[in-house]
């Protein structure tokens, strides 16, 4: 008998969205940025490539300093992760003993559940209302760690700010606010960091900074929290190229602000178009929308779109199995999506 931990053995494991490694799909399923980063981020790459035989900076100093300028906090308050998934994982392993509780909403990023279960933590899911939103502050006194994403997938809306703040105030454990999609909205939660010493904000460069392929994320918090998480972090968790491209991307704020606005414009257009095509659609603060077709099963829509080489996300979760989540693509990509949907609708 091999000594597999029961918590690992009993967990099915996380299932990421489909990542076809061919380029013939219109890929609207995993919330990547449809626009590439500026070519200039590769200008310093040649120099880095001559050093691949050497270990990277274990503490990603340049990257954290570049992040610091944009986030407006000292780089000592920033921990670099191999994507923000790494940050979420480190948080569970820093603050939660197996058998202790991690809390999150019943509809949110599904990785929270997987990493908590694999760690052997207990899980408390907090119900959302019929609109998939918080009905009040999240109260879970036994939780050592609360994960709250704002904007919250798969809905894409910000959590109610007062409820969120009250959650931070009342929590006896850590509250990690996952801001993966923050740059596609006007809000953020920096002020909670200053007011509450139990708050961590996580950020990723996968969505707004067009670097999903490079795995760069951050935790931002107090020195005391960052110092403890740093012990749990793998000592060389970001390679040279990820550190370099991440740093470089932060230099192009004007470019990225422009594409974030473009994504928001396209989001508005997609939302309106889907409503006209008889979908129930929620307004989104993120780079995706959750939409339910009123004239076809969502699972069937997913399949028929895939046949036409348009990939969206369909979840089997009972509360949203009649929805699809559609990432905001370029305008031509969204045009093609709408064209295919229009044809399908006319054929029903």
Residues 164-223 that bind its own copies (CB under 8 A): 172-174, 197-198, 206, 210-215
Residues 110-139 that bind its own copies (CB under 8 A): 111, 118-120
Query: Which two three-digit tokens encode residue 219?
Result: 């935790």
Least Cβ distance, residue 102 to its own copies (angstroms): 11
Question: 220 preceded by cis ω (within 30°)?
Answer: no
Q: Which is nearer to its own copies, 85 or 179 (CB)?
A: 85
Q: Which is nearer to its own copies, 190 or 236 (CB)?
A: 236
Which of 190, 196, 236, 252 binds its own copies (CB under 8 A)? It is 236
Q: Does 154 bind its own copies (CB under 8 A)?
A: no
Which of 40, 58, 76, 223 binds its own copies (CB under 8 A)? It is 58
User: How do beta strands 101-105 and 122-126 pair?
Assistant: parallel
The vertex-15 CA angle with 338 and 3, nearest 5°, equals 180
Least Cβ distance, residue 235 to its own copies (angstroms): 5
Number of residues that bind its own copies (CB under 8 A): 83
User: How do beta strands 122-126 and 288-293 pair?
Assistant: unpaired
Calpha distance 160→189 (Å, rounded): 12
Residue in the structure block whose two tokens are 């019929």: 130
Which of 89, 128, 150, 327 binds its own copies (CB under 8 A)? It is 89
SS3 content of the chain, % helix, strand, coil (to 5): 40, 15, 40
**How many other CB atoms sit within 10 Å of the CB of residue 42?**
14
Return the axis-axis angle of helices 240-250 and 61-71, rounded to nearest 10°. Answer: 20
Which candidate, 77, 96, 85, places its Cα nearest to that of 172? 96
Least Cβ distance, residue 4 to its own copies (angstroms): 5
Least Cβ distance, residue 162 to its own copies (angstroms): 24
Residues 17-46 that bind its own copies (CB under 8 A): 17, 19, 21, 23, 27, 30, 32-37, 42, 45
Least Cβ distance, residue 292 to its own copies (angstroms): 25
Calpha distance 59→61 (Å, rounded): 6
Residues 264-323 that bind its own copies (CB under 8 A): none
Q: Does 98 bind its own copies (CB under 8 A)?
A: yes
């Amino acid at each position: 008998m091999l000594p597999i931990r029961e918590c690992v053995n009993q967990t099915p494991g996380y299932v990421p969205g489909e990542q076809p490694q061919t380029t013939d799909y219109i890929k609207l399923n995993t919330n990547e940025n449809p626009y590439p980063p500026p070519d200039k981020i590769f200008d310093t790459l040649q120099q880095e490539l001559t050093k691949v035989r050497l270990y990277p900076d274990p503490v990603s100093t340049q990257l954290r300093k570049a992040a610091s300028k944009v986030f407006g906090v000292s780089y000592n308050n920033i921990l670099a992760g191999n994507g923000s998934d790494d940050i979420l994982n480190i948080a569970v392993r820093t603050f939660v003993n197996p058998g202790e509780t991690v809390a999150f909403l019943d509809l949110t990023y599904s990785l929270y559940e997987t990493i908590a279960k694999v760690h052997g933590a207990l899980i408390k899911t907090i119900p959302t209302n019929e609109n998939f939103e918080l009905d009040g502050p999240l109260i879970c006194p036994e939780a050592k760690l609360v994960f709250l994403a704002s904007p919250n997938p798969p809905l894409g809306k910000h959590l109610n700010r007062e409820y969120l703040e009250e959650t931070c105030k009342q929590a006896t454990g850590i509250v990690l606010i996952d801001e993966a999609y923050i740059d596609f909205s006007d809000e953020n939660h920096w002020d909670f960091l200053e007011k509450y010493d139990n708050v961590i904000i996580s950020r990723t460069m996968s969505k707004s900074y067009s670097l999903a392929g490079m795995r760069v994320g951050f935790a931002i918090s107090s020195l005391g929290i960052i110092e403890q998480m740093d012990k749990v972090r793998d000592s060389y968790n970001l390679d040279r190229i990820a550190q370099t491209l991440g740093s470089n991307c932060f230099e192009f704020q004007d470019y990225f602000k422009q594409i974030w606005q473009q994504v928001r414009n396209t989001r508005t257009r997609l939302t309106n178009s889907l409503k006209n095509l008889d979908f129930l659609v929620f307004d989104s603060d993120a780079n995706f929308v959750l939409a339910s077709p009123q004239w076809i099963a969502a699972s069937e829509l997913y399949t028929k779109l895939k046949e036409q080489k348009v990939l969206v996300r369909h979840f089997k979760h009972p509360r949203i199995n009649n929805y699809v989540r559609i990432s905001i693509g370029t305008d031509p990509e969204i045009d093609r999506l709408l064209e295919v949907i229009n044809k399908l609708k006319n054929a029903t």
